[in-house]
Structure 1
Amino acid sequence: MTGTEVAPEGLRERKRRETRRRIADVGMQLFLTNGFDATTLDMIAAAADVSRRTFFSYFDSKDGVLETWETGLEDALRAAVSEQPPLPAPLAVTRQALARLATRYETDEALAIDRLMRSTDTLLARKKANYERQEQIIVDGLAERWPSPDRRHALRLVAMVGVGTLRLAIEAWSAEEHRGPLSDYLSEAFETVQSEMTP
Protein backbone atom coordinates (compact mmCIF):
# COMPACT_ATOMS: atom_id res chain seq x y z
CA MET A 1 0.00 0.00 0.00
CA THR A 2 1.45 3.39 -0.99
CA GLY A 3 1.51 6.45 1.25
CA THR A 4 -1.46 7.97 -0.58
CA GLU A 5 -3.76 4.98 -0.21
CA VAL A 6 -6.26 4.76 2.62
CA ALA A 7 -6.79 1.47 4.40
CA PRO A 8 -10.34 0.14 3.91
CA GLU A 9 -12.68 0.64 6.84
CA GLY A 10 -13.25 -2.58 8.78
CA LEU A 11 -16.70 -3.85 9.71
CA ARG A 12 -16.18 -3.03 13.39
CA GLU A 13 -15.12 0.54 12.65
CA ARG A 14 -18.03 1.04 10.26
CA LYS A 15 -20.54 -0.22 12.82
CA ARG A 16 -19.09 2.07 15.48
CA ARG A 17 -19.30 5.03 13.13
CA GLU A 18 -22.89 4.18 12.20
CA THR A 19 -23.89 3.75 15.85
CA ARG A 20 -22.33 7.07 16.79
CA ARG A 21 -24.10 8.75 13.90
CA ARG A 22 -27.44 7.18 14.88
CA ILE A 23 -27.13 8.32 18.50
CA ALA A 24 -26.17 11.82 17.39
CA ASP A 25 -29.04 12.07 14.89
CA VAL A 26 -31.61 10.77 17.39
CA GLY A 27 -30.29 13.05 20.10
CA MET A 28 -30.47 16.11 17.88
CA GLN A 29 -34.04 15.30 16.86
CA LEU A 30 -35.02 15.01 20.52
CA PHE A 31 -33.37 18.35 21.25
CA LEU A 32 -35.34 19.94 18.44
CA THR A 33 -38.60 18.35 19.58
CA ASN A 34 -38.35 18.66 23.35
CA GLY A 35 -35.67 21.29 23.90
CA PHE A 36 -32.13 20.71 25.07
CA ASP A 37 -32.77 20.96 28.81
CA ALA A 38 -35.84 18.71 28.72
CA THR A 39 -34.02 15.96 26.83
CA THR A 40 -32.20 13.55 29.09
CA LEU A 41 -29.33 11.24 28.32
CA ASP A 42 -31.60 8.26 29.08
CA MET A 43 -34.16 9.50 26.57
CA ILE A 44 -31.50 9.65 23.87
CA ALA A 45 -30.22 6.18 24.68
CA ALA A 46 -33.72 4.69 24.64
CA ALA A 47 -34.68 6.35 21.35
CA ALA A 48 -31.41 5.22 19.75
CA ASP A 49 -32.00 1.69 21.07
CA VAL A 50 -28.73 1.56 22.99
CA SER A 51 -27.92 1.11 26.65
CA ARG A 52 -26.77 3.94 28.88
CA ARG A 53 -23.37 2.25 29.01
CA THR A 54 -23.20 2.14 25.22
CA PHE A 55 -24.07 5.83 25.06
CA PHE A 56 -21.08 6.60 27.26
CA SER A 57 -18.88 4.57 24.94
CA TYR A 58 -19.46 7.27 22.33
CA PHE A 59 -20.24 10.47 24.22
CA ASP A 60 -19.24 11.86 27.62
CA SER A 61 -22.55 13.71 27.97
CA LYS A 62 -25.49 14.87 25.92
CA ASP A 63 -23.41 17.94 25.04
CA GLY A 64 -21.37 15.61 22.87
CA VAL A 65 -24.35 15.24 20.56
CA LEU A 66 -24.25 18.97 19.89
CA GLU A 67 -20.51 18.77 19.37
CA THR A 68 -21.04 16.30 16.52
CA TRP A 69 -23.01 18.88 14.58
CA GLU A 70 -20.59 21.66 15.52
CA THR A 71 -17.61 19.58 14.42
CA GLY A 72 -19.21 18.93 11.05
CA LEU A 73 -19.65 22.67 10.47
CA GLU A 74 -16.09 23.39 11.57
CA ASP A 75 -14.70 20.69 9.28
CA ALA A 76 -16.62 22.21 6.37
CA LEU A 77 -15.18 25.66 7.14
CA ARG A 78 -11.66 24.25 7.41
CA ALA A 79 -12.04 22.63 4.00
CA ALA A 80 -13.58 25.77 2.50
CA VAL A 81 -10.58 27.85 3.55
CA SER A 82 -7.92 25.35 2.52
CA GLU A 83 -9.48 24.63 -0.89
CA GLN A 84 -9.76 28.23 -2.05
CA PRO A 85 -7.72 29.01 -5.16
CA PRO A 86 -4.86 31.51 -4.92
CA LEU A 87 -6.35 34.90 -4.10
CA PRO A 88 -4.57 38.23 -3.61
CA ALA A 89 -5.61 38.99 -0.05
CA PRO A 90 -6.66 37.21 3.17
CA LEU A 91 -10.04 38.94 3.21
CA ALA A 92 -10.80 37.62 -0.28
CA VAL A 93 -10.00 34.06 0.82
CA THR A 94 -12.16 34.51 3.93
CA ARG A 95 -15.06 35.93 1.96
CA GLN A 96 -15.07 33.12 -0.60
CA ALA A 97 -14.74 30.43 2.08
CA LEU A 98 -17.68 31.80 4.05
CA ALA A 99 -19.75 32.13 0.89
CA ARG A 100 -19.16 28.43 0.27
CA LEU A 101 -20.18 27.65 3.84
CA ALA A 102 -23.39 29.71 3.61
CA THR A 103 -25.44 26.92 2.02
CA ARG A 104 -24.97 24.78 5.14
CA TYR A 105 -27.03 27.32 7.10
CA GLU A 106 -29.94 27.19 4.66
CA THR A 107 -31.26 23.66 5.25
CA ASP A 108 -34.37 23.07 7.36
CA GLU A 109 -32.26 21.18 9.88
CA ALA A 110 -29.74 24.01 10.18
CA LEU A 111 -32.53 26.54 10.70
CA ALA A 112 -34.06 24.38 13.41
CA ILE A 113 -30.69 23.95 15.10
CA ASP A 114 -30.13 27.70 14.98
CA ARG A 115 -33.44 28.25 16.79
CA LEU A 116 -32.41 25.62 19.33
CA MET A 117 -29.07 27.33 19.94
CA ARG A 118 -30.87 30.59 20.63
CA SER A 119 -33.42 29.01 22.98
CA THR A 120 -31.47 29.26 26.26
CA ASP A 121 -28.75 31.49 27.62
CA THR A 122 -26.44 28.48 27.96
CA LEU A 123 -26.86 27.44 24.33
CA LEU A 124 -26.57 31.03 23.14
CA ALA A 125 -23.25 31.32 24.95
CA ARG A 126 -22.19 28.09 23.28
CA LYS A 127 -23.20 29.51 19.89
CA LYS A 128 -20.99 32.55 20.49
CA ALA A 129 -18.12 30.27 21.46
CA ASN A 130 -18.63 28.44 18.16
CA TYR A 131 -18.04 31.69 16.31
CA GLU A 132 -14.76 32.13 18.19
CA ARG A 133 -13.66 28.67 17.08
CA GLN A 134 -14.58 29.54 13.50
CA GLU A 135 -12.34 32.59 13.75
CA GLN A 136 -9.44 30.38 14.86
CA ILE A 137 -10.03 27.95 12.00
CA ILE A 138 -9.86 30.82 9.52
CA VAL A 139 -6.71 32.21 11.15
CA ASP A 140 -5.01 28.83 10.94
CA GLY A 141 -6.01 28.40 7.31
CA LEU A 142 -4.82 31.87 6.34
CA ALA A 143 -1.54 31.37 8.19
CA GLU A 144 -0.76 28.42 5.92
CA ARG A 145 -0.92 30.80 2.95
CA TRP A 146 0.71 33.76 4.67
CA PRO A 147 3.00 32.11 7.23
CA SER A 148 4.99 35.14 8.35
CA PRO A 149 4.63 35.52 12.15
CA ASP A 150 4.50 39.28 11.64
CA ARG A 151 1.15 38.87 9.86
CA ARG A 152 -0.51 36.70 12.51
CA HIS A 153 -2.18 39.62 14.28
CA ALA A 154 -3.49 41.01 10.98
CA LEU A 155 -4.79 37.59 9.93
CA ARG A 156 -6.65 37.27 13.22
CA LEU A 157 -8.23 40.66 12.58
CA VAL A 158 -9.33 39.52 9.11
CA ALA A 159 -10.86 36.37 10.59
CA MET A 160 -12.74 38.38 13.21
CA VAL A 161 -14.07 40.72 10.53
CA GLY A 162 -15.09 37.78 8.37
CA VAL A 163 -16.95 35.88 11.07
CA GLY A 164 -18.51 39.11 12.33
CA THR A 165 -19.76 39.81 8.82
CA LEU A 166 -21.22 36.31 8.65
CA ARG A 167 -23.01 36.83 11.97
CA LEU A 168 -24.55 40.11 10.82
CA ALA A 169 -25.59 38.56 7.50
CA ILE A 170 -27.28 35.67 9.32
CA GLU A 171 -29.09 38.12 11.63
CA ALA A 172 -30.35 40.18 8.68
CA TRP A 173 -31.37 37.03 6.83
CA SER A 174 -33.27 35.76 9.90
CA ALA A 175 -34.95 39.13 10.45
CA GLU A 176 -36.30 38.95 6.89
CA GLU A 177 -37.52 35.37 7.49
CA HIS A 178 -34.85 33.79 5.26
CA ARG A 179 -36.03 35.54 2.14
CA GLY A 180 -33.58 34.63 -0.61
CA PRO A 181 -30.23 32.85 -0.24
CA LEU A 182 -27.98 33.68 2.69
CA SER A 183 -25.11 34.17 0.23
CA ASP A 184 -26.80 37.34 -1.06
CA TYR A 185 -26.93 38.80 2.46
CA LEU A 186 -23.35 37.77 3.05
CA SER A 187 -22.20 39.38 -0.20
CA GLU A 188 -24.02 42.60 0.66
CA ALA A 189 -22.51 42.62 4.16
CA PHE A 190 -18.99 42.16 2.79
CA GLU A 191 -19.55 44.94 0.27
CA THR A 192 -20.56 47.21 3.15
CA VAL A 193 -17.47 46.27 5.12
CA GLN A 194 -15.17 46.89 2.19
CA SER A 195 -16.80 50.22 1.32
CA GLU A 196 -16.35 51.41 4.92
CA MET A 197 -12.69 50.38 4.83
CA THR A 198 -12.03 52.33 1.63
CA PRO A 199 -11.35 56.08 1.95
Structure 2
Amino acid sequence: MNNPDTPIDRRQKRKLATRARIEEAAYTLFKRGGIEDTSIEMICREADVARRTFYSHFPNKHALLGGLGVSRLYSQAEPMLRQLMEKHRTTRERLEAMIDYIESRFAAFDTIDRELMISAPASFANNPEQQRRISRGAIDSFSRLIAAGQEAGDARRQFSADILASMIVGTLNTLTVSWAIDRDYPVFAKLEEARGMFEALICAD
Protein backbone atom coordinates (compact mmCIF):
# COMPACT_ATOMS: atom_id res chain seq x y z
CA MET A 1 0.00 0.00 0.00
CA ASN A 2 1.32 3.44 -0.93
CA ASN A 3 2.08 5.98 1.74
CA PRO A 4 -0.10 9.12 1.24
CA ASP A 5 3.08 11.16 0.84
CA THR A 6 4.62 9.10 -1.95
CA PRO A 7 5.36 10.83 -5.28
CA ILE A 8 2.79 8.60 -7.02
CA ASP A 9 -0.02 9.74 -4.73
CA ARG A 10 1.02 13.38 -4.92
CA ARG A 11 1.06 13.17 -8.70
CA GLN A 12 -2.41 11.59 -8.74
CA LYS A 13 -3.77 14.29 -6.44
CA ARG A 14 -2.36 17.01 -8.71
CA LYS A 15 -3.90 15.30 -11.72
CA LEU A 16 -7.32 15.13 -10.06
CA ALA A 17 -7.04 18.75 -8.94
CA THR A 18 -6.18 19.87 -12.47
CA ARG A 19 -9.10 17.91 -13.93
CA ALA A 20 -11.44 19.47 -11.38
CA ARG A 21 -10.11 22.94 -12.26
CA ILE A 22 -10.77 22.34 -15.96
CA GLU A 23 -14.29 21.10 -15.25
CA GLU A 24 -15.07 24.05 -12.97
CA ALA A 25 -13.77 26.52 -15.55
CA ALA A 26 -15.81 24.85 -18.28
CA TYR A 27 -18.98 24.89 -16.17
CA THR A 28 -18.53 28.59 -15.43
CA LEU A 29 -18.03 29.43 -19.10
CA PHE A 30 -20.82 27.16 -20.32
CA LYS A 31 -23.22 28.78 -17.89
CA ARG A 32 -22.07 32.26 -18.86
CA GLY A 33 -21.94 31.95 -22.64
CA GLY A 34 -23.37 28.58 -23.66
CA ILE A 35 -21.67 25.38 -24.73
CA GLU A 36 -21.43 26.09 -28.47
CA ASP A 37 -19.81 29.50 -27.99
CA THR A 38 -17.25 28.24 -25.47
CA SER A 39 -14.02 27.05 -27.05
CA ILE A 40 -11.36 24.76 -25.64
CA GLU A 41 -8.98 27.71 -25.78
CA MET A 42 -11.32 29.75 -23.58
CA ILE A 43 -11.59 26.88 -21.11
CA CYS A 44 -7.80 26.51 -20.96
CA ARG A 45 -7.41 30.22 -20.33
CA GLU A 46 -10.06 30.22 -17.59
CA ALA A 47 -8.52 27.15 -15.93
CA ASP A 48 -4.97 28.44 -16.45
CA VAL A 49 -3.78 25.26 -18.16
CA ALA A 50 -2.04 24.54 -21.45
CA ARG A 51 -3.98 22.94 -24.30
CA ARG A 52 -1.85 19.81 -24.04
CA THR A 53 -2.88 19.57 -20.37
CA PHE A 54 -6.53 19.80 -21.40
CA TYR A 55 -6.08 17.03 -23.96
CA SER A 56 -4.33 14.82 -21.42
CA HIS A 57 -7.63 14.78 -19.51
CA PHE A 58 -10.24 15.08 -22.29
CA PRO A 59 -9.83 14.15 -25.98
CA ASN A 60 -12.40 16.79 -27.02
CA LYS A 61 -15.15 19.07 -25.74
CA HIS A 62 -17.78 16.34 -26.08
CA ALA A 63 -15.79 14.14 -23.69
CA LEU A 64 -15.50 17.10 -21.30
CA LEU A 65 -19.28 17.53 -21.35
CA GLY A 66 -19.80 13.89 -20.46
CA GLY A 67 -17.16 13.98 -17.74
CA LEU A 68 -18.59 17.18 -16.31
CA GLY A 69 -22.10 15.72 -16.28
CA VAL A 70 -20.87 12.63 -14.47
CA SER A 71 -18.83 14.50 -11.86
CA ARG A 72 -21.46 17.17 -11.13
CA LEU A 73 -24.63 15.13 -11.39
CA TYR A 74 -24.00 11.41 -11.12
CA SER A 75 -21.22 11.04 -8.59
CA GLN A 76 -22.89 12.66 -5.57
CA ALA A 77 -24.69 9.67 -4.08
CA GLU A 78 -21.93 8.32 -1.88
CA PRO A 79 -20.87 11.60 -0.18
CA MET A 80 -24.52 12.66 0.20
CA LEU A 81 -25.56 9.38 1.82
CA ARG A 82 -22.49 9.33 4.06
CA GLN A 83 -23.59 12.70 5.45
CA LEU A 84 -27.16 11.50 5.88
CA MET A 85 -25.95 8.48 7.85
CA GLU A 86 -23.90 10.73 10.11
CA LYS A 87 -26.48 13.49 10.66
CA HIS A 88 -29.76 11.55 10.94
CA ARG A 89 -30.71 8.72 13.24
CA THR A 90 -33.57 6.84 11.57
CA THR A 91 -34.19 5.50 8.08
CA ARG A 92 -37.25 7.73 7.69
CA GLU A 93 -35.24 10.83 8.64
CA ARG A 94 -32.50 9.86 6.20
CA LEU A 95 -34.92 9.32 3.32
CA GLU A 96 -36.67 12.63 4.10
CA ALA A 97 -33.35 14.46 4.14
CA MET A 98 -32.31 12.76 0.89
CA ILE A 99 -35.38 14.02 -0.97
CA ASP A 100 -34.95 17.48 0.57
CA TYR A 101 -31.34 17.53 -0.66
CA ILE A 102 -32.30 16.41 -4.18
CA GLU A 103 -35.07 19.02 -4.37
CA SER A 104 -32.62 21.74 -3.35
CA ARG A 105 -30.28 20.59 -6.11
CA PHE A 106 -33.02 20.73 -8.74
CA ALA A 107 -34.06 24.19 -7.53
CA ALA A 108 -30.52 25.41 -8.24
CA PHE A 109 -30.15 23.68 -11.64
CA ASP A 110 -29.97 25.78 -14.79
CA THR A 111 -30.22 25.20 -18.56
CA ILE A 112 -26.61 24.04 -18.63
CA ASP A 113 -27.41 21.35 -16.09
CA ARG A 114 -30.13 19.94 -18.36
CA GLU A 115 -27.61 19.71 -21.19
CA LEU A 116 -25.07 18.02 -18.91
CA MET A 117 -27.65 15.48 -17.76
CA ILE A 118 -28.25 14.57 -21.39
CA SER A 119 -24.53 14.49 -22.23
CA ALA A 120 -23.48 12.25 -19.34
CA PRO A 121 -25.22 9.06 -20.56
CA ALA A 122 -23.56 9.54 -23.96
CA SER A 123 -20.18 9.37 -22.26
CA PHE A 124 -21.27 6.15 -20.55
CA ALA A 125 -21.87 4.61 -23.97
CA ASN A 126 -18.15 4.92 -24.64
CA ASN A 127 -17.19 3.75 -21.17
CA PRO A 128 -19.54 1.01 -19.92
CA GLU A 129 -17.17 0.21 -17.05
CA GLN A 130 -17.57 3.75 -15.74
CA GLN A 131 -21.35 3.41 -16.01
CA ARG A 132 -21.26 0.13 -14.12
CA ARG A 133 -19.00 1.58 -11.42
CA ILE A 134 -21.15 4.68 -10.84
CA SER A 135 -24.42 2.76 -10.90
CA ARG A 136 -23.09 0.05 -8.58
CA GLY A 137 -21.60 2.67 -6.26
CA ALA A 138 -24.94 4.46 -5.93
CA ILE A 139 -26.81 1.21 -5.32
CA ASP A 140 -24.24 0.08 -2.75
CA SER A 141 -24.53 3.41 -0.90
CA PHE A 142 -28.33 3.24 -0.69
CA SER A 143 -28.11 -0.45 0.20
CA ARG A 144 -25.93 0.36 3.22
CA LEU A 145 -28.44 2.98 4.38
CA ILE A 146 -31.33 0.52 4.11
CA ALA A 147 -29.40 -2.37 5.64
CA ALA A 148 -28.55 -0.18 8.62
CA GLY A 149 -32.26 0.53 9.05
CA GLN A 150 -33.14 -3.16 8.78
CA GLU A 151 -30.59 -3.96 11.44
CA ALA A 152 -31.96 -1.17 13.66
CA GLY A 153 -35.53 -2.38 13.10
CA ASP A 154 -36.95 0.74 11.43
CA ALA A 155 -36.73 -0.54 7.82
CA ARG A 156 -38.86 -3.37 6.40
CA ARG A 157 -37.26 -6.75 5.80
CA GLN A 158 -39.77 -7.94 3.18
CA PHE A 159 -37.31 -7.04 0.39
CA SER A 160 -33.53 -7.10 0.34
CA ALA A 161 -31.60 -3.87 0.86
CA ASP A 162 -30.05 -4.30 -2.58
CA ILE A 163 -33.36 -4.53 -4.46
CA LEU A 164 -34.80 -1.57 -2.56
CA ALA A 165 -31.64 0.44 -3.32
CA SER A 166 -31.98 -0.48 -7.01
CA MET A 167 -35.57 0.78 -6.91
CA ILE A 168 -34.46 4.12 -5.45
CA VAL A 169 -31.63 4.61 -7.95
CA GLY A 170 -33.82 3.64 -10.91
CA THR A 171 -36.58 6.01 -9.84
CA LEU A 172 -34.25 8.96 -9.29
CA ASN A 173 -32.47 8.36 -12.60
CA THR A 174 -35.80 8.28 -14.43
CA LEU A 175 -36.95 11.53 -12.83
CA THR A 176 -33.63 13.19 -13.65
CA VAL A 177 -33.67 12.21 -17.32
CA SER A 178 -37.36 13.13 -17.66
CA TRP A 179 -36.65 16.61 -16.28
CA ALA A 180 -33.63 17.03 -18.55
CA ILE A 181 -35.53 16.29 -21.76
CA ASP A 182 -38.84 17.98 -20.84
CA ARG A 183 -38.87 21.52 -19.47
CA ASP A 184 -42.46 21.11 -18.33
CA TYR A 185 -41.84 17.90 -16.40
CA PRO A 186 -43.20 18.34 -12.83
CA VAL A 187 -40.07 17.06 -11.14
CA PHE A 188 -40.86 18.43 -7.67
CA ALA A 189 -44.32 16.81 -7.62
CA LYS A 190 -42.73 13.56 -8.78
CA LEU A 191 -40.04 13.79 -6.09
CA GLU A 192 -42.75 14.21 -3.46
CA GLU A 193 -44.52 11.17 -4.86
CA ALA A 194 -41.22 9.28 -4.74
CA ARG A 195 -40.77 10.41 -1.12
CA GLY A 196 -44.06 8.78 -0.18
CA MET A 197 -43.31 5.62 -2.15
CA PHE A 198 -39.86 5.16 -0.62
CA GLU A 199 -41.17 5.64 2.90
CA ALA A 200 -44.12 3.30 2.34
CA LEU A 201 -41.98 0.52 0.90
CA ILE A 202 -38.93 0.91 3.13
CA CYS A 203 -39.83 2.39 6.51
CA ALA A 204 -41.21 0.11 9.23
CA ASP A 205 -41.85 2.76 11.87
TM over 0.5: yes
1:73-95 residue CA offsets vs partner (Å, 9 max, x unmatched) = 235423343235332x5xx3663
The alignment status of 1:60 with 2:57, answered yes or no, reads: yes
Q: 2:191 aligns with which of 169, 186, 193?
A: 186
Structure 2 residue runs of 5 or longer lacking an equivalent are 1-13, 59-63
Once the two structures are superposed, residues 41-67 of structure 1 have per-residue CA deviations (whole angstroms, 9 ceiling, x without a partner) of: 5553234232135547xx733365445
**1:165–1:190: 8 Å Cα contact kept in structure 2?**
no
- Is 1:45 matched with 2:41? no
Q: Distance in 1 between matches of 2:146 and 2:28?
A: 35
Contact conserved, 1:28 with 1:66, CA < 8 A, in 2?
A: no
Match of 1:25 in 2: 24
Q: Which residue of the partner structure matches residue 135 of structure 1? A: 139
Q: Aligned pair 1:167/2:173, yes or no? A: yes
1:86 pairs with 2:89: yes
Q: CA RMSD in A?
A: 4.6
TM-score w.r.t. the length of structure 2 is 0.55
Paired positions, count: 169
- Return the offset for 1:18: 8.0
Query: 1:167: Cα distance to partner?
Result: 3.5
Q: Structure 1 CA distance, aligned partners of 2:30 and 2:137?
A: 23
- The corresponding residue for 1:107 is 108
Q: Deviations over 1:18-42 (max 9, x none)?
A: 866542222224556226xx97755
The normalised TM-score by structure 1 is 0.56
Q: Is the 8 A contact 2:143 2:162 kept in 1?
A: yes
Q: 1:193 to 1:82 in 2, by over 3 A?
A: closer
Q: Which of 169-178 and 47-56 deviates more?
A: 169-178
Distance 1:24 1:168, change over 3 A: closer
**Residue 9 of structure 1 aligns with which residue?**
none
Cα 1:172–1:113, aligned 2, differ >3 Å: closer, same or farther? closer
Distance 1:145 1:84, change over 3 A: farther
| Structure 1 contact 173–185 (Cα < 8 Å) conserved | no
SS in structure 1 at match of 2:160: helix
C-alpha distance 161-80 of structure 1, shift in aligned 2 (>3 A): farther
Structure 1 residue 120, shift from structure 2 partner? 7.8
**C-alpha deviation, 1:156, in angstroms:** 0.9
